[in-house]
Amino acid sequence: MSDTVTTWLVERTYSDDEQNIIILVYATTDGTRYHRKERSLTSFESDVRDTYAALDVPEDELGRVGDEETQAEYAAAATRMAESHDPTDVV
């Protein structure tokens, strides 16, 4: 069993390639690791799924952020989220 790492929501975008896909990116507060989650958007009435401020992600499911600019952006966004929300807050 792998250890989990707390990641914070840093980006929410809609896919350009496919309709009805939302992309959530969670990152560590140092910006070096991230987790990307794709979710299909279906009927608002029958499909209510909350998006939380933070996720605990298995370490082996985290990617490495390759460039310094993205690391800095993710670190700033994750830190802001961690300072202003509890992990289970719906955002």
Residue 89 lies in a domain: no
CA–CA gap between residue 50 and residue 66 (Å, rounded) = 29
Domain range for 17: 4-84
Residue 20 lies in a domain: yes
DSSP letter (8 states) at residue 50: -
- The tens-digit pLDDT sequence of the chain (91 residues) is 569 999 999 999 987 776 778 899 999 999 999 999 998 876 555 556 789 999 999 999 999 999 999 999 999 999 999 999 999 999 9
Residue 10: strand, helix, or coil? strand
Torsion angle of alpha carbons 91, 69, 3, 55, nearest 10°? Answer: 0
CA–CA gap between residue 32 and residue 91 (Å, rounded) = 22
Residue 90 lies in a domain: no
Number of domains in the chain: 1
Residue 17: strand, helix, or coil? coil
Q: What is the pTM of this model?
A: 0.88
Residue 10 lies in a domain: yes
Q: Which residue has the tokens 């914070």?
A: 8
